[in-house]
Amino acid sequence: MLFNPKPKKRREELYDRGEELSTIEHSIEKGVPLIVLLGIRRLGKSSLLNVALSETPVKSVKIDARRVYSQLGSITQSALAELVLKGYLRAFPRERIREVLKGVRGIRIAGVGLELSVGKGINLSEVFERINSLGGRFIIAIDEAQYLRFSNARYPELIAWATDELENISFILTGSEVGLLEDFLRIHDPESALFGRAHVKIRLNRFERHQSLDFLRNGFEEIGLKVRGEELEEAVDELDGIVGWLTLYGYNRYLGLPHTGALRKLKEDAKKLILSEFSKLKKLSSRYELVIRAVANGRHRWRKIKEAVELLEDGRIDDKNFSNILNNLVRYGYLKKTVEGYFIPDPLVELAFK
């Protein structure tokens, strides 16, 4: 159902996104070696990726880099190799994996079930090379790929090499910390390994107002709940076109909450979630929170935000240091920069810091 709060997996559960989906599908068909899918949080990147992978006939593995990072604290080559190989094992006949792995340093396979163990000595490029050499196209999709930067391995270089040399392997990378992923890949930087490489970039946008309303209408129709037009309007006023929030509002109503109760619960839950997501930034510097609070409370110009933060800190802040904080908030997707100044792109993030 449309209001299912988990990332969607099947085409029928995905509202709209037809254009983005067909861009991904065509790119895969044409053998584009690198597809980058960008968008702030909760716009449906993982859902779109899942559906695209399930629709294409090309076999694939999906790796959630955020999850690997939270489990291991870094994204090692051996962890990635293990996930890639396990995905390969699921996608292709088992005999094949023996061939892939024959003689690869750092790997052991045992038993009829082909239990796989990947040691520290593994070389990911060798694994990619083997997979490539067996023929049969294979997509390596990495969700929240900006987390790959937490590693000793130089993944952009590795991906650049693979996209150049290995015709059977392609990559799809997603990122919600849009600026961070772009900085990490440095696709536009002449000095970087990925510069000038053939790639397709897709930016996921929030729904337009009419789409948000239509999404809610369809969702309620699907669960057989009659809802008044003003309620839909109000929900979209408050949640904008962020499909993740619209979905949770619909889900709360599906669970039986009335309109105001559903919105209230969503805001409470969202606030907890947003503050806990933000805590990793807060650990780096307490200024991040002061800045985002200043913006949430109506300061949008560089100078005004700075004055507000200085007032709270009761001292002057170095201009360069302050700009760094602001720019990082933009890179992480918490702020967007426009000609009118800095704004918070998600109304519930704004509310959480008011």
Ligand X SMILES: Nc1ncnc2c1ncn2[C@@H]1O[C@H](COP(=O)(O)OP(=O)(O)OP(=O)(O)O)[C@@H](O)[C@H]1O
Question: Which residues lie near ligand X (CB under 6 A)?
Answer: 2, 4-8, 14-17, 39, 41-47, 176, 243-244, 247
Q: Which does 31 bind (CB under 5 to 8 A by kind): Mg ion, ligand X, none?
A: none
Q: How far is the CB of 336 from Mg ion (least distance, A)?
A: 19
Q: State which residue, 8 or 306, has the beta carbon closest to ligand X.
A: 8
Q: How far is CA 262 from each of CA 233, 273, 352, rounded to the nearest angstrom?
A: 14, 16, 17
Query: How many residues touch Mg ion (CB under 5 A)?
Result: 1
Strand partners, 59: 138
Q: How far is the CB of 175 from ligand X (least distance, A)?
A: 9
Site for Mg ion in 36-65 (CB under 5 A): 46
Q: Which does 211 bind (CB under 5 to 8 A by kind): ligand X, Mg ion, none?
A: none
Q: State which residue, 16 or 350, has the beta carbon closest to ligand X.
A: 16
Q: State which residue, 6 or 272, has the beta carbon closest to ligand X.
A: 6
Q: How far is CA 166 from each of CA 130, 155, 242, 257, 347, rounded to the nearest angstrom?
A: 10, 15, 37, 53, 43
Beta-sheet pairing, 59-64 with 138-143: parallel
Q: How far is the CB of 312 from ligand X (least distance, A)?
A: 29
Q: State which residue, 2 or 43, has the beta carbon closest to Mg ion.
A: 43
Rg of the chain on CA atoms, in Å: 22
Q: State which residue, 14 or 131, has the beta carbon closest to ligand X.
A: 14
Q: Which does 4 bind (CB under 5 to 8 A by kind): ligand X, Mg ion, none?
A: ligand X
Q: Which does 333 bind (CB under 5 to 8 A by kind): Mg ion, ligand X, none?
A: none
Q: How far is the CB of 228 from ligand X (least distance, A)?
A: 22
Q: How far is the CB of 118 from ligand X (least distance, A)?
A: 26
Q: Which does 5 bind (CB under 5 to 8 A by kind): Mg ion, ligand X, none?
A: ligand X
Residue with the shortest CB distance to ligand X: 44
**Euclidean distance between CA atoms 348 and 212, whole angstroms:** 16
Q: Which does 42 bind (CB under 5 to 8 A by kind): Mg ion, ligand X, none?
A: ligand X
Asked if 146 interacts with Mg ion (CB under 5 A), we say no
Determine the length of the chain.
354
Q: How far is CA 279 from each of CA 149, 223, 273, 284, 335, rounded to the nearest angstrom?
A: 19, 36, 10, 9, 16
Whether the Cβ atoms of residue 238 and residue 226 lie closer than 8 Å to each other: no
Q: How far is the CB of 308 from ligand X (least distance, A)?
A: 28
Per the listing, tokens 């038993």 go with 111
Q: Which two tokens stand for residue 236?
A: 């979209």
Q: State which residue, 47 or 77, has the beta carbon closest to Mg ion.
A: 47
Strand partners, 107: 118
Gap between the terminal Cα atoms of the chain: 33
Beta strands in 205-291 (DSSP E): none
Beta strands in 83-240 (DSSP E): 107-110, 115-118, 138-143, 169-175, 200-203
Q: State which residue, 158 or 243, has the beta carbon closest to ligand X.
A: 243
Q: State which residue, 17 or 130, has the beta carbon closest to ligand X.
A: 17
Q: How far is the CB of 267 from ligand X (least distance, A)?
A: 16
**Euclidean distance between CA atoms 292 and 295, whole angstroms:** 5
Q: How far is the CB of 15 from ligand X (least distance, A)?
A: 4
Q: State which residue, 64 or 82, has the beta carbon closest to ligand X.
A: 64
Q: Which does 196 bind (CB under 5 to 8 A by kind): ligand X, Mg ion, none?
A: none
Beta strands in the chain (DSSP E): 34-38, 59-64, 107-110, 115-118, 138-143, 169-175, 200-203, 336-338, 341-343
Per the listing, tokens 């109760």 go with 261
Q: How far is the CB of 18 from Mg ion (least distance, A)?
A: 20
Q: Which residues bind Mg ion (CB under 5 A)?
A: 46
